[in-house]
């Protein structure tokens, strides 16, 4: 009788431990909690000063995941700012400096959080430069290349992109003559992309496959 009670007690204890582990796992896999933060930084050129606005995403909490993601996002903003500071050494006062960065969450679920970074820089010349790049992190805060999110063969990815690119051109856009060759040579792991809900878009930045006037070429992969 005592043995039976002991077995029942052990069973209940193991069940409780298993339940705690399951609950802990569910917490880790939950959506990321975040907030937006706006910073304005000064860049001096000559006797003038440009005020650069950064709208950043900050993951809440002190978990390893939050620290990893915030560290990466901060480094992106810092690199943009340092680029403007370096350019300020050579820009003509009559041309000036301008820039901005806007981060927005485009996907946030148990598997991924994707932060799309839209930046703009002007350091003299005919016009500025803008780009859109998504940064996708898994539930542990690891930054993922496209081949880790979209697990299809290289030939499949290339075929999908070429089809989407042909459709884009057919709608009235202008591309370089050798754009298809560039797309064929592109490796999945090297492509800029972002996740929007259940959709995946590949981004070719200005001048990559089309003139600057066409802007950023976005092709739906999924």
The per-residue pLDDT for range 88-134, each reduced to its tens digit, is: 999 988 889 999 999 999 999 999 999 999 999 999 989 999 999 99
Q: Is the pLDDT of residue 87 over 70?
A: yes
If you average pLDDT over every residue of the chain, what do you get?
89
H helices within the chain, ranges in order? Answer: 2-28, 64-87, 146-149, 154-170, 179-185
Res 30: pLDDT: 76
Q: Which residue has the higher pLDDT, 3 or 127?
A: 127
Burial class of residue 80 (count of CB atoms within 10 Å of its CB; 0-12, 13-18, 19+): buried
Confidence of residue 8 (pLDDT cuts 50, 70, 90): very low
The per-residue pLDDT for range 114-124, each reduced to its tens digit, is: 999 999 999 99
The per-residue pLDDT for range 53-67, each reduced to its tens digit, is: 999 999 999 999 999
Res 2: pLDDT: 44
Does the global pTM surpass 0.75? Answer: yes
Phi, psi at residue 169, to the nearest 5°? -65, -40
Work out the number of other CB atoms within 10 angstroms of the CB of residue 37: 12
Query: Which residues, other chains included, contact 67 with Cβ-Cβ below 8 Å and sequence gap of 6+?
Result: 141
What are the percentages of helix, strand and coil residues in the chain, rounded to 5? 40, 35, 30
Q: Which residue has the higher pLDDT, 2 or 221?
A: 221
Q: Is the pLDDT of residue 11 over 90?
A: no
The per-residue pLDDT for range 133-165, each reduced to its tens digit, is: 999 999 999 999 999 999 999 999 999 999 999
Q: Which residue has the higher pLDDT, 22 or 148?
A: 148
Q: Is the pLDDT of residue 15 over 50?
A: no
For the ranges 12-16, 44-48, 76-80, 144-148, the lowest mean pLDDT is seen at 12-16
Confidence of residue 29 (pLDDT cuts 50, 70, 90): low
Q: Rounded to whole angstroms, how far apart are CA atoms 211 and 214? A: 6
Q: Is the pLDDT of residue 21 over 70?
A: no
Q: Is the pLDDT of residue 28 over 70?
A: no
């Amino acid at each position: 009788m005592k043995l039976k009670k002991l077995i029942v007690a052990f069973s209940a204890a193991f069940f409780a431990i298993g339940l705690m582990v399951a609950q802990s796992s569910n917490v880790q896999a939950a959506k990321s909690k975040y907030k937006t933060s706006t910073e304005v930084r000064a860049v001096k050129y000559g006797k003038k000063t440009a005020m650069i606005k950064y709208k950043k995403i900050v993951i809440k909490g002190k978990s390893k995941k939050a620290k990893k993601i915030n560290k990466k996002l901060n480094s992106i903003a810092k690199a943009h700012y340092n680029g403007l500071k370096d350019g300020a050494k050579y820009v003509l006062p009559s041309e000036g400096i301008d820039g901005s960065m806007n981060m927005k969450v485009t996907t946030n679920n148990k598997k991924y959080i994707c932060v799309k970074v839209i930046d703009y820089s002007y350091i003299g010349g005919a016009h500025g430069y803008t780009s859109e790049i998504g940064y996708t992190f898994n539930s542990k805060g690891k930054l993922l290349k496209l081949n880790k999110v979209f697990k299809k063969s290289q030939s499949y990815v290339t075929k999908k992109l070429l089809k989407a690119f042909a459709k884009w051109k057919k709608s009235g856009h202008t591309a370089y003559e050798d754009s298809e060759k560039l797309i064929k040579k592109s490796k999945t792991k090297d492509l800029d992309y972002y996740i929007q809900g259940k959709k995946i878009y590949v981004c070719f930045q200005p001048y990559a496959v089309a003139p600057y006037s066409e802007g950023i070429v976005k092709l739906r992969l999924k």
